[in-house]
Chain A
Amino acid sequence: MSRHRIPGRGRVDAGRPVQFTFDGRSYDGLQGDTLASALLSHGVHLMGRSFKYHRPRGPVTAGSEEPNALVGTSRGPGRTEPNTRATVQELRHGLVAESQNRWPTLSFDAGAVNDALSPLFSAGFYYKTFMWPRNFWDKVYEPVIRRAAGLGRAPTEEDPDIYASRYAHTDVLVVGAGPSGIAAALAAARAGASVTLADEGTEIGGSLLSDPGVEIDGSPAWDWLEDRAAELRDLGVTLLTRTTAIGYYHQNFLGLVERLTDHLDEIPHGAPRERMWRLRAARVVLAQGALERPLVFDGNDRPGVMLAGAAQTYLNRYGVAVGERAVVVTSHDSAYYAAFDLADAGIAVPAIIDTRAEIRPDLASEARLRAIEVLSGHTVTATSGRLCVASVTANPVTGGEVGEGRQLRCDCLLVSGGWTPSLHLFSHTKASLSWDAEAGTFLPDRSLEDLHLAGAGRGLWGYAASLSDGAEAGAAAAHALGHAAQATGLLVARDRIGTGITHGQLPTHRAPSRVRAFVDYQNDVTAKDIKLAVSEGMRSIEHVKRYTTTGMATDQGKLSNLNALAIAADALGTTPPQVGLTTFRPPYTPTTFATFAGYHRGAAFEVTRRTPIDGWAEENGAVWEPVGQWRRARHFPQGDEDMDAAVDRECRAVRAGVGIFDASTLGKIDVTGPDAATFMNRMYTNAWTKLAPGRCRYGLLLGEDGYVRDDGVVGRMAEDRFHVTTTTGGAARVLTMMEDYLQTEWPDLDVWLTSTTEHWAVVALNGPRARDVLAPLVEGLDISGEAFPMMSVAECTVAGFPARLFRLSFTGELGYEINVPARHGRALWEALMAAGADHGITPYGTEAMHVLRAEKGFIIVGQDTDGTVTPEDLGLGWTIGKTKEDFVGMRSLSRPDLVARGRKQFVGLLTADGAVRLEEGAQIVDDPDQPLPMRMIGHVTSSYNSAALGRSIALAVVENGRERMGETVHIPMPEGNVEATIAPGVFYDPDGGRAKL
């Protein structure tokens, strides 16, 4: 048994030892221990180093608010995490823990030189220096500062764990399973409400787990807890332990993080490490309790200085004596109970130093019974000890004067400066707080959410009060939901009631410059720093916080905020609410990134949309390209072809024979109804009225701002039905836009819109032999050139599948797009491949498709346009119905800047040397020799090697480009200037004869 373990005490399992290591050294603890309690059981207080001064530090708490005892933990490859709080990390077999922010060792840290230089490192010192020479900040000073800063080390390997998430609804969510939370959950559940009770601890009970001497309804506290746990289960309450409510969002939506495996010796196969509960509650009861507040005095940060309540927890819950000789310093009655428990367990408690002049008589006599000297009306002015506290100096205060001190020997110093209600979640709701001057703390005021507060979390103290308050809150929550509920009172014996006062910095007679009284332990912010910030004009607590970094450490000011506020208010000669309270921000405690991500990791980060032909492409070696959420085959390399070679071959095949292309990702919208043509007229620039059923037209869609948003071929299937295609990325946007206008601007139109993108698989056949391949498979339609000319659409059967057949061309060759129900997509593809085998049918990907269309000067919206391009800019003015009085975007086309001269116009570009291919995005100038910044007159939007032309081609937008055909422009590149000639955008078959075969 370790030296400081008290046999038979606590809730640890003495029969189940657990081995772990800390800084390479092996220790044993017990099942039920935290890392901190296990180390303390071996007398190890020194667990970390502070952020700035590298001062030795031990745990000050026994909970999640711990600022000091942060360690690195690991359990094998990829399973490491920095800054784990030793006070909440449950012991497990083989736990490996390492101290942080020290070199070479925890007990001898070279970084502690900062401590000796601390007068230089006052609050905000870095704003005042490191400015000379000018270039030294980010090259010299900052790297040094950055290496010194930070605490643990980030993981360097991928995390093998999985993380879960779950949505849930509950009538009543109770946050905190201390006495008031349990009482609330019981009251609500007994009334018939569905209840979820969540607590960050390993079991329910809260402070009762540290107060076994209390009796409730005649039962010892722990027996009562066991009975209540059983009752909660019987009532069907969802009990979530190891679960932290991290954030309170709009309308009773809370995020709760449940830790599932970090405490287990072995991780069950497939078990998630943590789970995010996204919980919506009809009512919320916040029973978060209160956090003990440290006292601020010189040397209050030495290892062994600990909150009194924490020492009581280590003793009663873990059976660990935090020292052999404990002195207590307090401004609150609660520390007396801790002192009594320690004394009763055989630990020497020579003295309680109380800042108050008046001591409650019953506490004074209890102290006397245990031979504890009570020094009332005293302050603490110093402590000693290097790696652990060795003494404390207590001085009487009379009439504001600090008298001669008396040194008391000790190996731990238990501190209590009162209790701060945990209002974090309450504050997340943007609720207001009110200042309670008497208690020296903020209390909850008003919130818009449907919530209740109970117990110590709203400033109550003592078990009887908390239990009845909790029961009332639970009953009120159930009542609000229409349940007949009542709060039953409970009889509490040996209750631990108390009051106290609060302080800023404790009075001292020592010269201020010699006093180092810590407010924020981890960030090494002292009372002096706060006063300095105030004297430098920082009058808001937000300024003080940001200037000194108080409250910005990993405990987010849970221990320090109110002390900092009190000290700032004292320095300003005002009250704390005048200085303000810094906002509490989610999460309540630091929360794993991956827990937010949940299942959305790796391939599941976002859905990947695949076409019905995706599998064929996969099997045939497609190289993929992500386009929006889709993956599309970019090219189909054969042998060791690179992309250029593959694309070249695919393009030649289309121009010379026949190519096959999966166009299924194209957006498709079915526009149906008596007013379909009217609707189309209003949406698109084109005129649709005269388009005959069975015919298609290229449609152009603008935004209301007049700029091109989307395009695609639209087929008129019937008088009242259009088959609209959109760009792959634009499908959802276009449908939303159409719905918006239809529903809200023109509700009088009788039109239905249906997304059919996923209904149809689309296969494009292009090339002079396209008809030869297709014709034998078509039934019910004559697809001869005369019977089924360019821009026709008809319903027929292809390879036995019902199809909508379009004759159109995005390549300039004879082309068809065959739409069949998606489930037949792959079968159609394979039928066409088989039918085309004799014709040398060649599958081609998006890259070849891009080249082929560029040879024809067809735009790709989003590549050749950028959201600032008008139809006229593109030379697509012809799409605008000449007699139309209105369509979306029409009015904007006459705005001054859209009719001004000098707009960039879409043209072709041919480099002087056809072997040189321009870079897409390259900028165009008239004078390549001008100084920077150059006047740019346009840019290259598309650029390819054209197999058909045997040279490079490019598309571009150029100022007044269409008036400048044949003129030379320049594209200055890092490697040198490239000359190019402005040309018409149609490079191949300008008359378009090939598509009309």
Chain B
Amino acid sequence: MLLIHCPYCDETLPEMEFAYAGEAHVARPVDPSRTTDEEWRDHLFVRSNTRGPHAERWRHVHGCARFFNAVRDTVTDRVLATYPAGSPRPDLPGKDTP
């Protein structure tokens, strides 16, 4: 069970309090009607599926109920950083390899 730091509550808490919510920084187009089918497909379905540090969304569903972003290494599962929704992805050094 992962430990995750909620950037709003400022507490590090077990994964059971949180719900995963998919890749982060996939912004909904401002005007979807202007997107091509390809662009809309990319928005809906295409994901980076990164092997390594992955920017993703979590929701503190059994806490403050707010969505936030995290960078987590998908090889080790370790959360490297969390930050509020809407903030840019922080620069982090390298991979979290053992």
Contact = CB atoms under 8 A, between A and B. Distances in A.
Q: Do chains A and B touch in the complex (CB under 8 A)?
A: yes
Interface of A: 249-251, 253, 278, 280, 430-432, 446-448, 704-705, 736, 739-740, 743-745, 747, 885-886, 890-892, 895-896
15 contacts: A250-B78, A251-B3, A253-B14, A278-B1, A280-B14, A448-B96, A704-B44, A736-B19, A736-B59, A736-B61, A743-B67, A743-B85, A891-B32, A891-B35, A892-B44
Contacts of B57: 744
Contact of A447 (B31, B35, B98): B98
Contacts of B37: 895-896
Interface of B: 1-3, 14, 19, 21, 27-28, 31-33, 35, 37, 40, 44, 57, 59, 61, 65-67, 76-78, 85-86, 96, 98
A251 B78 contact: yes
A430 B76 contact: yes
B98 A448 contact: yes
B34 to A, nearest CB: 9
Contacts of A432: 98
B71 to A, nearest CB: 16
Contacts, number: 65
A883 to B, nearest CB: 13
Contacts of A743: 66-67, 85
A646 to B, nearest CB: 40
Contact of A895 (B40, B66, B85, B86): B40
- Secondary structure at the B interface, as helix, strand, loop or mixed, is loop
Contact of B76 (A448, A739, A740, A892): A448
A744 B3 CA distance: 23
A249 B1 contact: yes
B77 A250 contact: yes
A323 to B, nearest CB: 47
A982 B62 CA distance: 48
| Most interface-central of A250, A432, A705 (chain B CB within 10 A) | A250
Contacts of A280: 3, 14
A431 B77 CA distance: 13
Given A743-B85, A744-B67, A891-B33, 6 more contacts: A250-B2, A431-B98, A739-B59, A739-B67, A743-B67, A895-B40
Contact of A891 (B1, B27, B40): B40
A739 B65 contact: yes
Given A250-B2, A892-B44, A886 B32 contact: yes
B43 to A, nearest CB: 8
A704 B22 CA distance: 14
Nearest to A753: B65
Contacts of B66: 743
A895 B57 CA distance: 27
Nearest to B35: A891
A885 B2 CA distance: 42
Contacts of B35: 891
Contacts of B19: 736
Nearest to A448: B98
Contacts of A249: 1
Given A251-B2, A886-B33, A745 B21 contact: no
The 3 nearest A-B residue pairs measured at CB: A891-B32, A448-B98, A251-B3
| Most interface-central of A430, A432, A744, A885 (chain B CB within 10 A) | A744
B8 to A, nearest CB: 11
B55 to A, nearest CB: 13
Nearest to A429: B98
Given A745-B28, A891-B32, A740 B67 contact: yes
Contacts of A251: 1-3, 78
Nearest to B32: A891
A752 to B, nearest CB: 12
A599 B40 CA distance: 46
Contacts of A896: 37
A704 B43 CA distance: 10
A280 B76 CA distance: 18
A430 B98 contact: yes
A434 to B, nearest CB: 13
Contacts of A892: 40, 44
Nearest to B41: A895
A108 B59 CA distance: 63
A76 B32 CA distance: 67
| Most interface-central of B35, B67, B96 (chain A CB within 10 A) | B67
B96 A890 contact: no
A596 to B, nearest CB: 14
Nearest to A431: B98
B41 to A, nearest CB: 8
Nearest to B26: A744
A312 B44 CA distance: 66
B63 to A, nearest CB: 13
Contacts of B28: 704, 745
A747 B87 CA distance: 12
A278 B61 CA distance: 21
Nearest to B73: A448
Contacts of B85: 743-744, 747
Contacts of B40: 891-892, 895
Contact of B1 (A253, A430, A431, A704): A253
Contacts of B14: 253, 280
Nearest to B4: A251
Contacts of A747: 85-86
Contacts of B67: 739-740, 743-744
B36 to A, nearest CB: 10
Nearest to B29: A891
Contacts of B96: 448
A892 B33 CA distance: 9
A705 B43 CA distance: 10
Contacts of A895: 37, 40
Contacts of B3: 250-251, 253, 280
A736 B44 CA distance: 18
B32 A890 contact: yes
Nearest to A251: B3
Nearest to A889: B32
B77 A740 contact: no
Contacts of A739: 59, 65, 67
A745 B27 CA distance: 7
Contacts of B31: 885-886
B26 to A, nearest CB: 10
A679 B96 CA distance: 40
Contacts of B65: 739
Nearest to B85: A744
Nearest to A735: B65
A302 to B, nearest CB: 43
Contacts of A744: 57, 67, 85-86
| Most interface-central of A432, A446, A736 (chain B CB within 10 A) | A736
Contacts of B44: 704-705, 892
| Most interface-central of A704, A890, A896 (chain B CB within 10 A) | A704
Contacts of B76: 430, 448
A250 B57 CA distance: 19
A432 B40 CA distance: 43
Contacts of A891: 32-33, 35, 40
Contacts of B61: 736
Contacts of B27: 745
A756 to B, nearest CB: 15
Contacts of A253: 1, 3, 14
A754 to B, nearest CB: 11
Nearest to B37: A895
Contacts of A886: 31-33
A447 B40 CA distance: 42
Contacts of B33: 885-886, 890-891
A874 to B, nearest CB: 21
A249 B19 CA distance: 19
A308 B52 CA distance: 47
A686 B65 CA distance: 27
A704 B86 CA distance: 20
A885 B27 CA distance: 18
A705 B41 CA distance: 9
